[in-house]
């Protein structure tokens, strides 16, 4: 079954998050001139989403990222404290100085490390 995702821009995501919205289930966003940088997106729900964008200096603590497709995304200085990555696709992902503490990893194990 092919799921139709709502395509939004990084700027729209940030605007809606700043307005208090936290649920962005099944969205799709990829290219942005500056990527996604310097944001606090703690508690965001991006489950089932398709995300291919450079992410730097991002707080994703407590985020629901289950089932999300992050293939070929670069995570640079990202905090995944308490995030849920169950079933997330991390094929081709590059991790640079990220923190997994009390993080539910794609295979269901609990991650407690930095890399």
Domains and CATH numbers, the chain: 6-114 (2.160.20.80)
CA distance 7 to 30: 9
Q: What is the pTM for the complete model shown?
A: 0.90
Summarised one tens digit per residue, pLDDT across range 59-81 is 999 999 999 999 989 999 999 99
Closest CA to 70 of 40, 38, 30: 30
Cβ-contact 98, 78 below 8 angstroms = yes
Summarised one tens digit per residue, pLDDT across range 13-44 is 999 999 999 999 999 986 666 678 999 999 99
For residue 70 the two structure tokens come to 């992050």
Look-up of token digits 């497709």: 69
């Amino acid at each position: 079954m092919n799921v139709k995702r709502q395509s939004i821009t990084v700027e729209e995501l940030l605007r809606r998050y700043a307005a208090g919205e936290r649920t962005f289930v099944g969205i799709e966003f990829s290219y942005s001139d500056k990527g996604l940088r310097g944001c606090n997106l703690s508690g965001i729900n991006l489950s089932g989403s398709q995300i291919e964008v450079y992410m730097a200096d991002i707080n994703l603590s407590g985020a629901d990222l289950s089932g999300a497709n992050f293939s070929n995304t670069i995570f640079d200085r990202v905090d995944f404290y308490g995030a849920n990555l169950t079933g997330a696709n991390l094929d081709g992902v590059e991790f640079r100085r990220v923190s997994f503490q009390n993080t539910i990893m794609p295979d269901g194990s609990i991650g407690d490390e930095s890399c």
